[in-house]
Structure 1
Amino acid sequence: MPNTYFQFKQFRVEQDRCAMKVCTDSCVFGAYVAVEEAQRILDIGAGTGLLSLMVAQRSKAGIDAVEINPEAQQQTQENFAASPWANRLQLHPQSLQEFAGQERPKYDVILSNPPFFLSSLKSPDVAKNTAKHTGELLFEDILYFAQQHLSEQGKLYLLLPPAEALYFARLAKASDLYLQEELQVYTYHGGKCIRHIQTYTFAPAAPVLKDFFIREEDKVTYTAAFTGLLREYYLAF
């Protein structure tokens, strides 16, 4: 029987009650976002709490996490409470729309691995649908919140598949948020691009495009870039 948790070097993520489990691209995302200087961070769609925990490890920021699913809320809260950073992690068990309706501080970093499949067929699993398909949380909601609550020099980070990333970039530009950097994540050298990690700010600029490979051409060996990025987190490295 597989473990119901994912063990990292400094924390554990229990995930048996969450539709979306810990996955490699989310770990790359959590390790990649620049949070070392941030004072306030918001995690939209916290799920298991993975991203909040990863950025808590690398920062001294106060972190707010928004999650709408009741089972995920309970699991996130338990993961937060069991971590070394429980005093800096605050779960808000509500939708982003409800969260936005209350007075909020400006955030230095807003990050989200949002529901992303805009047009693909939906799973019969309702919880997984909510986690993976736009519906409860729309790209427009994220952008509107960022317009209002991202600090002047702040950064918005998104993890999305390629087609959805292109669509989000168009929406963001219309909302005066501009793509600064895009990390294209590949399964292996010569393999398929599975995700884009996008960085947005209020400052217009030509985006910097980078490639990131998880494994070498043999599809087994992790790349030096991957092991270097995840060294602070993975027990195996």
Structure 2
Amino acid sequence: MAFTFKQFHINDHGCGMPVSTDAVLLGAWAPLTQAKHILDIGAGSGLLSLMAAQRSEADLTSIELDGIAVNACSQNFNASKWQSRFNLLHTSVQEFSATHQANTSIKFDHIICNPPYFKGGTQSNDRLRAQARHTDTLNFHSLLQAITQLLTPTGTASLILPSQSMPPFKEELDRSTLFIEQLTDIRDSDLKAPHRHLFTLRHSAIGSQSQTKTNFCIKKLDGRYTEEMITLITDFYLKY
């Protein structure tokens, strides 16, 4: 499926996860101010990396496990005006973390990830979609371990998860040296409970581990986007 944004074009070329509202929210919300080296874990078709390239002057490293997604991501990067700033790697985050630490002392001041979040349960018959959505190839423990190892001491990681995945994620987080610094609860409308959560992670040694919590509503009761949603996506969606 193809999707055209104001400054770039995405074609997922059969990737497991197509362009989604979750990914757009994360890519537009993540605090990238002054980031110089950004890591995109599980890049898929490259949407988050392309949004980060538009929003910053950073160099971007994008890692993706699936070969079909890597091919799509490469084509999307090469078709963009920021192609010289991308470094796309076909690897798992576990392997990347190990080899990166062995070969360089450079770490990332921002990490962005729309992680797999289902553990067990019925999986899609589409292998790529199942891989993108389930934690079989990247569980929360491995993800947090990689973020801990790859993030600079003062860096920030931005993620998004559905409500049902937050308790198991927080269980793993409590066993790590990271904490949630900023949490934004997302609801489809004012009549619905939050169903997604945007959040940032920092190393525990930074600050006093205080947390800022906000709310975000996607749509009005009549189905139109709220003003806060329009403000967030206006640099990306063609119709706004």
TM-score, normalised relative to structure 2: 0.93
Structure 1, residues 203-234: CA drift from partner, whole Å, max 9, x if none? 3423222111110012x210000000001101
Matched with 1:123 is 124
| Contact 1:9 1:235 (C-alpha < 8 Å) held by counterparts | yes
What is the letter of the counterpart of residue 215 of structure 1? K
2:219 to 200, 215, 221: 215
What secondary structure sits across from 2:147 in the alignment? helix
**What is the root-mean-square deviation of aligned Cα atoms in Å?**
1.3
What secondary structure sits across from 1:188 in the alignment? coil
Question: Shift of the alpha carbon at 1:189?
Answer: 1.8
Runs of 4+ in structure 1 deviating by more than 4 angstroms, as ranges, are none
Distance 2:33 2:74 in 1: 23
Distance 2:189 2:121 in 1: 24
What is the letter of the counterpart of residue 234 of structure 2? R
Question: Shift of the alpha carbon at 1:165?
Answer: 2.1
1:67 to 64, 69, 76: 64
Structure 1, residues 98-144: CA drift from partner, whole Å, max 9, x if none? 11121342100111111111244211221111000001111111111
Matched with 1:200 is 201
Matched with 1:177 is 178
What secondary structure sits across from 2:23 in the alignment? helix
1:19 aligns with 2:16: yes
Where do 1:67-216 residues align within 5 Å?
Answer: 67-102=64-99, 103-104=103-104, 105-202=106-203, 203=206, 204-216=208-220
What secondary structure sits across from 1:184 in the alignment? strand
Distance 1:140 1:89 in 2: 27
Question: Shift of the alpha carbon at 1:198?
Answer: 1.3
| Contact 2:13 2:69 (C-alpha < 8 Å) held by counterparts | no
Aligned length: 233
Question: Shift of the alpha carbon at 1:192?
Answer: 4.0
| Contact 2:16 2:127 (C-alpha < 8 Å) held by counterparts | no
Distance 1:121 1:93 in 2: 27
What secondary structure sits across from 1:215 in the alignment? coil
For structure 1, which runs of at least 5 residues remain unmatched after alignment?
A: none
What secondary structure sits across from 1:193 in the alignment? coil
Matched with 2:230 is 227
Distance 1:96 1:16 in 2: 22
| Contact 1:36 1:60 (C-alpha < 8 Å) held by counterparts | no
Out of 107-116 and 117-126, give the one that drifted further: 117-126
Distance 1:8 1:135 in 2: 32
What is the letter of the counterpart of residue 62 of structure 1? D
Distance 1:86 1:189 in 2: 40
Matched with 2:32 is 35
What is the letter of the counterpart of residue 224 of structure 1? E
Matched with 1:236 is 239
Distance 2:173 2:112 in 1: 14
For structure 2, which runs of at least 5 residues remain unmatched after alignment?
A: none
What is the letter of the counterpart of residue 19 of structure 1? G
Question: Sequence identity of aligned pairs in percent?
Answer: 34
Structure 1, residues 63-113: CA drift from partner, whole Å, max 9, x if none? 001101110000000001111110111111111111112134210011111
Distance 1:146 1:76 in 2: 22
